[in-house]
Structures are given as structure tokens and as C-alpha cells.
Amino acid sequence: MGPFALRFTDTIGVRWYGISYAMGFVVAWQLLRWLAKTGRTQLKPALVGDYITWCIAGVVLGGRLGHVLFYDHFLLWKFSTDIPFWGVLEIHKGGMSSHGGIIGVVVVTVLFARRVGISSLGLVDTAAFMTPPGLMFGRLANWVNGELWGKVLPSSMQATPPWWSVKYPDEALVLAPTPDAYVAAKHLHAMVYAGNAQAMQDIAVLVPARYPNNFIQAFTDGPLLMLALVIVWWKPRHAGALTGTFLIAYGILRNISEQYREPDDGVFTIGPATLPMMVSALMVVLGFAVTIYSTRARGPLIGGVAPRA
């Protein structure tokens, strides 16, 4: 898909990427309203709007800074005369880290809980429950932007790629062997995004079929992760139980899905383990620690998504 749902200039318009994030925030807001109105969280209904605003700031700031610090340090020193002038602020071009976004939400949640005088860990549980839809929409936004490619399918599958495989038009520009070939590929690339069916067939011959990483991670980070949270939170638990479950489940699912993702250029690796894998493994360890802590905690039981009489 082209990046713009509605375009005003070459660089300004309503992007599918932004719409995807907005949908994630809207779903999270609705879940939060339901949790607050039904007493499944200590957060009062009157504070839902304030808290979701903090969460939006946490996702955007944490996600962007996480991407810059984890994957693209060059943006720290990238300046230009075009708006927004600094590479770190070029969020309209994509580049958000889900790990960074999660960290950002945790930070603002703890600050907000302390401000309104409720359990920080209990509110983090609430945040965990409303996070999977946003993660899913974020992965779909990555697909729209043609980023975070999956690994190339085995050569035996390239002649007749399966229906679920993905080919990225941008890869034709990367694979162009000469300047002339690049110019031709760029012209073909433009025709593809203009909807030319013949150009789509022509460019498909130039690029390899890949695993549908964006859809794999949208499924694992969204419905599968949400299912794990619902199962654990079906009945009320002590504060921290859902946070621990989220960290464990997300870390494990993310490491599974990373097996089908092409590592980012220049990403830190140790053997076969990439930085996202290592951060996800750390989340699993932290999740077990939080879970053990919650089993020993005292205080009221919170949550419980099962229907009530």
C-alpha cells in the first residue's frame, strides 16, 4: 500500500501509519473505560481521559526514542533545513520500537499512579491488558510502510511462492546492480504504487518472496498475547500478576516471531541472537520475577474479566 490515505503535498498528508496508531489508542481507550466503569481497575472513570493521554505520550516518546537508541543512532546527528529539521523527530517516516513504547508506557503509568494515589503495579496491569491491540495495529502499520521485512523463503519455494508470502517493491531499489538499473527500478517502483498491474508483475520478478513477518507479529503480539492475558485475568488477581504474564508471554512470542524477521542493518547481535531477541529474553526473566512477587503480595484482588452477575 502507499503510505498516504489522504495526500496534500509530497510529504504532508494523512498516513495509514498514523491511522493505525490512532486505532490502537481508540481501542485501548474503550477497554480502559470498560475496566474503570466496571471496577476492574483502581483507576476512576473520571481519570480515563487523562491517563490515556499520558499513555499516548509514553508510546510515542518511548517508541521513537527506543528506535533511535536501539536501531538508528544516526538520527541523533541528522539535521536538515526541512521540517521537522531533526532526524529524531521524523516520525512520519516510520521507525518506532515496540520495546521502547512498552517502556514508555510503564514509565508514564508509574508516574500517573503516584500522582493520583493508586497502586503503580496495579495500574501497570491495566496498561498491559489494553496494550495488545495497539501492538497489532503497529505491526500492520509496519506492513503498510514496507518495513521490517521477513526473511527470504528457501530457494525451493521461490519459483512458485505460496499465497501467504510477501514481496516488497522497495527491495527492487536495494538490489539494483548499477545506476541505470536503479533508475529503471525507481520508475517501475513508482508505477507499482500508482496501481499499474503490469508494473506489479514486472517488479515481482526482481524481488524474492519473504515470510509475512508483519502479519506473523501482528498475530502473536495481538490476538495470541491478548488470549494469554484474558486467561490469566479471567478472575481477579493480586497486582503484578498480569504484568508478569504480559512480560513472559510477549517475550516468548516475540522471540518466536523474530525467527522469521530479517534483522535490521547494523543491529547489535551476539551469535544468532539479535538485540530484539535479547531484550525480549530479558522481559521473560523480569516477568517471572514480577509474577513471583505478585504471588507473595498482599492487598485487594483486582481485574477479573469474567462476566459478573
Determine phi and psi for 74, rounding to 5 degrees.
Answer: -55, -30
Q: Which residues of 134-157 are buried (b: 16+ CB within 10 A; e: fewer)?
A: bbbbbbbbbbbbbbbbbebbeeee
The yes-or-no verdict on residue 157 having pLDDT over 90 is yes
With residue 160 as reference, give the H or E element that holds it.
none
Q: Give percent of the chain above pLDDT 70.
A: 99
Question: In terms of pTM, does the model score above 0.95?
Answer: no
Of 68, 49, 41, which Cα lies nearest the Cα of 237?
41
Q: What's the mean pLDDT in 60-83?
A: 84
Q: In this structure, how many other beta carbons lie within 10 angstroms of the beta carbon of residue 255?
A: 20
pLDDT tens for 166-210 read: 999 999 999 999 999 999 999 999 999 888 999 999 999 999 999
pLDDT tens for 224-271 read: 999 999 999 999 999 999 999 999 999 999 999 999 999 988 788 888
The yes-or-no verdict on residue 6 having pLDDT over 90 is no
- Contact between residue 23 and residue 144 where contact means Cβ atoms under 8 Å apart: no
Q: What's the mean pLDDT in 148-175?
A: 94
Q: What's the mean pLDDT in 12-20?
A: 85
Predicted pLDDT at 112: 97
Predicted pLDDT at 46: 95
Predicted pLDDT at 78: 83
Which residue has better confidence, 92 or 70? 70
How far, in Å, CA of 178 to CA of 216, rounded? 34
Return mean pLDDT, the chain: 91
Predicted pLDDT at 92: 65
